[in-house]
């Protein structure tokens, strides 16, 4: 079969690979729709490591089951499925410690295009299918459903990690698709003043539609000063980082009020250092501020819950789809677009059938 792979750092392309082999609790799917992600860009162009050689890229997909292992109960050949980008095996004892996404080691739940082949291929395998897949509701457009698998779960996770409460003042650093979902999630969780940081005009427009009350630009001077000004010197209850660089973490910490929370969702590459100055970290993390971060939770129940929110029209995540391609062959072009990030891009989608 054909797979779109990262041959080596910065070198991507098609490659022939053997068909995936279906284990007893696994399914094999064909992709119906795929989205490239900023994280694919990190994997393909910014991350190095022998284990990434010729790995199939991609982790955002809606699929159709073409083979099901003998122990799979709830999914059969022909079913259309939402495939969370985080698919733990659900078999590691660390799960009982409460963090299934990292059970067995950091990022262990995220196998696609991380330490096993991803989904940008004619066929891909999903492990622990009964525990990880979610049925695609009849009539739900792929453009909506595919946002559940990573963008919604990630953006919403920022709000969960920082425990957004009714009436909170929240700032979201970065209003690409991850930050936009953090804005939508914060509104749903009851944020009052909701500040987005970014400059792309269509992101600004959609941030406002999702609930942003204020937009500031990191290109218009010191963001810390700007945030302190519009919060009357108090700072924010919650800061969520979904863009920027290593310096952004210090800025987010600094604008968080004492006792508040900041959380990071941004995969930061190209540095070995995160800079917290004496001032930015409050003289040594003395302000009872919670600092957290994490990769997107996955699994079946979470995907079903998020899909239910889309079905109930709590939000329309397909507003973020700006570019549509047709045919699996166009995945390279769509991924390149994600790398180039033209100003009018939020999220590209490839419709495969």
Interface residues toward ligand NDP, by CB under 6 A: 37-39, 42, 150, 154, 173-179, 197-200, 203, 218, 242-245, 248, 265-267, 295-296, 341
Residue 271 phi/psi, 5-degree rounding, is -150, 150
Nearer to Zn ion, 118 or 198 (CB): 118
- One residue of 29, 39, 169, 242 binding Zn ion per CB under 5 A: 39
State how far the alpha carbon of 326 is from the alpha carbons of 76, 82, 191, in Å.
Answer: 26, 19, 38
Number of residues that bind Zn ion (CB under 5 A): 4
**Position 37 contacts Zn ion (CB under 5 A):** yes
Nearer to ligand NDP, 63 or 179 (CB): 179
With contact defined as beta carbons under 8 Å apart, do 224 and 254 qualify?
A: yes
Per-residue tokens: 215: 């937009």
How far apart are alpha carbons 172 and 164 in whole angstroms? 12
Binding mask 54-73 toward Zn ion (x if CB under 5 A, else -) reads ------x-------------
With contact defined as beta carbons under 8 Å apart, do 334 and 348 qualify?
A: yes
Write down the residue that tokens 């993390």 correspond to: 285
Least CB distance to Zn ion at residue 166 (A):
30
3-state secondary structure 159-212: HHHCCCCCCCCEEEECCCHHHHHHHHHHHHCCCCCEEEECCCHHHHHHHHHHCC
Of 143-172, binders to Zn ion (CB under 5 A) are 150
Binding mask 93-132 toward Zn ion (x if CB under 5 A, else -) reads ----------------------------------------
Q: Which stretch binds Zn ion (CB under 5 A): 31-39, 126-134, 165-173, 228-236?
A: 31-39
Residue 38 binds which of Zn ion, ligand NDP, none (CB < 5-8 A, kind-dependent): ligand NDP
The burial of 115, by beta-carbon neighbours within 10 Å (0-12 exposed, 13-18 middle, 19 or more buried), is given as middle
Which residues contact Zn ion by CB under 5 A? 37, 39, 60, 150
């Amino acid at each position: 079969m054909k797979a779109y792979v990262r041959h080596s750092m910065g070198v991507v392309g098609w490659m022939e690979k053997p068909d995936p082999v279906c284990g007893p609790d696994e399914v094999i799917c064909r992709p119906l729709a795929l989205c490239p992600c900023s994280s694919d860009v990190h994997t393909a162009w910014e991350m190095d490591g022998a284990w990434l050689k010729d790995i199939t890229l991609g982790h955002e997909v809606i699929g159709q089951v073409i083979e099901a292992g003998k122990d799979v109960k709830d999914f059969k050949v022909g079913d259309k499925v939402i495939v969370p980008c985080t698919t733990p095996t659900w078999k590691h004892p660390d799960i009982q410690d409460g963090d299934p996404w990292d059970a067995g080691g950091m990022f262990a739940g995220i196998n696609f295009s991380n330490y096993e082949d991803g989904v940008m291929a004619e066929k891909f395998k999903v492990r622990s299918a009964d525990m990880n897949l979610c049925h695609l509701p009849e009539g739900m457009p792929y453009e909506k459903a595919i946002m559940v698998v990573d963008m919604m779960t990630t953006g919403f996770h920022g709000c969960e990690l920082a425990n957004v409460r009714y009436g909170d003042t929240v700032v979201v650093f970065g209003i690409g698709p991850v930050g936009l979902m953090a804005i939508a999630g914060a509104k749903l969780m009851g944020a009052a003043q909701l500040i987005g940081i970014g400059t792309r005009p269509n992101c600004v427009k959609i941030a406002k539609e999702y609930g942003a009350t204020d937009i500031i630009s990191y290109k218009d001077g010191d963001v810390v000063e700007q945030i302190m000004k519009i919060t009357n010197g108090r700072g924010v209850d919650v800061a969520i980082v979904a863009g920027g660089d290593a310096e952004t973490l210090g800025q987010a910490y600094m604008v968080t009020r004492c006792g508040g929370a900041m959380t990071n969702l941004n995969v930061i590459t190209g540095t070995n250092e995160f800079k917290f100055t004496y001032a930015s970290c409050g003289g040594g993390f003395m302000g009872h501020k919670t600092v957290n971060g994490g990769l997107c939770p996955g699994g079946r129940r979470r995907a079903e819950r998020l899909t239910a929110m889309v079905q109930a029209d709590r939000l329309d995540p397909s507003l973020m789809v700006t570019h549509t391609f047709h045919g699996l062959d166009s995945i390279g072009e769509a991924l390149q677009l994600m790398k180039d990030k033209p100003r009018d891009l939020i999220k590209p989608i490839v419709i495969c059938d």
